[in-house]
Amino acid sequence: MLGRSSGAMTDPPADVFLLPGPVKMDPRVLRAMGRPAMNHRGPEFKEILAEVRTLTQYLFGTKGEVAVLSGSGTAGLEAAVTGLVRKEDRVLNLVNGKFSQRFHELCGVFARASALSFEWGTAVDPEQVASALEAGAFRAVTVCWNETSTGLTNPMAEIAKVVKSHDAFLIVDGITAVGGLENQMDAWGIDALVMGSQKCLAAPAGLSAVALSKRAYDSLHSDTSFYTNLKAHVDALAKQDTPYTPAVPLFLAFREALRMLKEEGIENRIARTTRLAEAARATVDGLGLQLFPDPRFASNTVTAIKYPAGVDDSMFRKILREKHRTTVAGGQDHLKGRIFRIGHMGICSPEDLEAGFRAIEATLREMGHPTARAGAGTKSAKGS
């Protein structure tokens, strides 16, 4: 639980930015984008790409091949799908939220996609996955490891074990997982894992990275896409190059964010993210609020919180933003107006979280919804 600070509270940051991506960036990362233009085919950029490749493997915790694309996480997902499946292939999509639904829709453009759906806020059931795979042959299975729309983490290791036993490729949306959750992709048997630059790494939006198992790399084909040709991106990066013009300033910022991750140590960052998540959940309870997802599968990078009855979402977030200078995310699709979401990944600090909950508590009180325990949102996360 966020414990009360001793002595006077310090002033909160001027702005508290708690979106589940993009997240706030360190000044070092921002400064990295501000240098003069450079030749993206010259020796200096080759050195940068060599470092990016090594550090990206560190980020994923893999010895396998990696690619970094100029394009958002969706571009990375499309690259993984088009590299491993064809139009006639069957793909099983595990759907339990907005982003896993979008993954299903993406696959439907490039393959014969079937959805195995679960109620939003509940986790994918590995036993049901096993039954679906036993009932029909699928070349690939997709899953959203951390479903950002509902603040839920699916049981990745158990799902991977089931998929591996049926010899299907496992393609994973790890956009708000990689760099924030424990990751053993090589040991678990994940074939393609995708991350987005603006989430747990705390770099600018606009890049995605894909890590591949050996069997996935050996199975890549190059005739189903052009710009998102994953084999072209992997092979180019291995030679300190890119197949097409890269977003140079974003690569520079990406490298700086990777350097900062390495300096902190990925195990330390994951542990810090976990402590923040535990503090957030304890504070939600202290405020008399409720999590949206099944608490057993609550995410450590995104917390989704139910609104108390009668709280208007647009007004709540307007007051929070304009009066208390705090930004959080609302719900999506049928969850609009029912939940709000806070991100505590990347370089989010205990002070950020403390200030954010202080603002949330004050806003609820101003809207006529006092919290269960006055002051529960002004506890300090510094000891978490």
Does 3.40.640.10 match the CATH number of domain 27-264? yes
Confidence (pTM): 0.93
Superfamily of domain 3-18+266-380: Aspartate Aminotransferase, domain 1 (3.90.1150.10)
pLDDT score, position 7: 35
Mean pLDDT by groups of 10 residues along the chain of 384 residues: 40 79 97 94 97 99 98 98 98 99 98 98 99 96 99 99 98 99 98 99 98 98 94 98 98 99 98 98 96 98 97 97 97 98 98 97 93 56 46
Helix/strand/coil (H, E, C) string of the chain? Answer: CCEECCCCCCCCCCCEECCCCCCCCCHHHHHHCCCCCCCCCCHHHHHHHHHHHHHHHHHHCCCCCEEEEECCHHHHHHHHHHHHCCCCCEEEEEECCHHHHHHHHHHHHHCEEEEEECCCCCCCCHHHHHHHHHHCCCCEEEEECEECCCCEECCHHHHHHHHHHCCCEEEEECCCCECCECCCHHHHCCCEEEEECCCCCCCCCCEEEEEECHHHHHHCCCCCCCCCCHHHHHHHHHCCCCCCCCCHHHHHHHHHHHHHHHHHCHHHHHHHHHHHHHHHHHHHHHCCCCECCCHHHECCCEEEEECCCCCCHHHHHHHHHHCCCEECEECCHHHCCCEEEEECCCCCCHHHHHHHHHHHHHHHHHCCCCCCCCCHHHEECCCC
pLDDT score, position 383: 42
pLDDT score, position 372: 66
Q: Where in the chain is the domain with CATH 3.40.640.10?
A: 27-264
Q: Where in the chain is the domain with CATH 3.90.1150.10?
A: 3-18+266-380
